[in-house]
Amino acid sequence: MNIISSRCVKIREVTRVTPFFDSTASTNDNPLPSTALALTYFDTKWFKFPPVQRLFFYRNQTSDTDSIRFNSEILPQLKHSLSLALLHYLPLAGHIMWPELEPKPAVYYFPDQKCDGVSFVVAESSDADFDRVSGDGIREAAEYHPLVPQFSITEDKAEVIAIQITLFPNQGFSIGVSAHHAVLDGKSTTLFIKSWAYLCKQLKLQQQQQQQEQTYLPPELTPCFDRTVVKDPDGIDLIYLKHWMSGSSSNRRSLNVMPVKPENYYSNLVRMTFELNREDINKLRDKVNEVLYSTQGGAQYLSSFVITCAHVFVWLVKARDVEANTTVRFVITTDSKASGFMQENGFAFVAHKLSDLIKGIKRGAVLGSEDEFLNGMAKMREAQQLKISVAGSNRFDVYGSDFGWGRPEKVEVVSIDTTGAISLAETRDGCGGFEIGVVLEKQQMEVFASLFVDALKDL
């Protein structure tokens, strides 16, 4: 088994890709407008969170990924289509900054500044098994770190997004994405990647047909940057910033994010991918409703998301072998004692909890007062608790990101090994199932995998 390490991933090129400008069609040296995009409370809530890191693996279709063809055809198409995509997403080519006289930070893009543009790294993995790293089986968590780009964040300036393309010679390639959580959530990151993929695929088709036409994004991939649609009469955006600033001892306007764990922390962590198909979910739903009918006198509709999260959460708590009085906090957000997970009908208990939580969100119970928010953040820092959160969604259609060389072989959320979250995506076959990414210590993973699979066998 060939493990990926920083020693076997060689950086071949580091450059910046800027929004496309056809100098032959304009006499203006700087035709693109300077852009300032305000952050809303949807953004400032995540102001200090570490970057979200994703990996898209693409398998060799023919001989496309030999080094010569990769460098002469695939890389130029990826770069050019990225520059075209940035025309529609100008803020992503800029930086987060916090001017002294402004009450909150914003994303600024200045076309005449050489530092603006998206960091674009080209690397090559000299000794790695593409099938294994793009598979579902047990893998060391740390070996994915060399495949995602480093992120430039200082006290005064922070990148919005960075890209790394890594070639696995004669096997395939990966696209690593690091995105600032205060600008790009899972949905908006996926929208950008799919826009880039769409333009790349169109560019490839035009080159094959020897055509040269301007390509437009379809409406469903066209972003909206109108901040006036986000109403915030109570100033929740500044409340979130106030919380983050209170933890800064010197420069209260520092853009530095929370520190990530040292590399040796990951040495005992492993990653696995699990699936629940539509039949599994229906059987699990029937099981929960059977319990609810007997204990509460009636069944209820439980979404596939609730069923999937409940099935995963209950086995995560048991695999981690926490004390029964430990508080288990769902970072979506609700909490309960671990003893509820450990009872015979723990799966039904968690499903009911999650369902009630989501109903509350649908009714609009999202923001709350400043005191409620600060109290909630204080609880998150309490000791003797287990935090469980979710990264991604089955509604993002991440496997629809086809750059012209087919659908991704695998999509991973690398950063869950730092946050402790699980990742969710639709299954690659598009048949209504869930793909779940989990990172645990090796012994815990063995327990979790056994519980996850055995529970499905007993349905």
Strand, coil or helix: 97: strand
Strand, coil or helix: 333: coil
Based on the residue annotation, tell me whether 458 is a catalytic residue of this protein: no
Candidates 181, 243, 311, 352; catalytic one: 181
Based on the residue annotation, tell me whether 402 is a catalytic residue of this protein: yes
Tokens of residue 264, six digits:
């040796």
CA distance 269 to 187: 27
How far is C-alpha 313 from the geometric centre of its chain's CA atoms? Answer: 19
Tokens of residue 52, six digits:
């979200």
R_g of the chain, CA atoms, integer Å:
23
Q: Phi, psi at residue 332, to the nearest 5°? A: -145, 5
Give start and end residues of each alpha helix (H) in 12-167.
41-44, 67-69, 75-88, 130-133
Q: How far is CA 313 from CA 250, 260, 365, 386, in A?
A: 39, 24, 23, 11
Of 185, 205, 247, give the one whose Cα is nearest residue 54. Answer: 185
CA distance 307 to 32: 47
Of 224, 126, 118, 136, give the one whose Cα is nearest residue 177. Answer: 118
Q: What is the dihedral of CA 246, 247, 250, 256, to 10 degrees?
A: -120
Tokens of residue 100, six digits:
């002294």
Burial 15-46 (b: 16+ CB within 10 A, else e): eebbbebeeeeeeeeeebeebebebbbebbbb
Active site residues per annotation: 181, 402
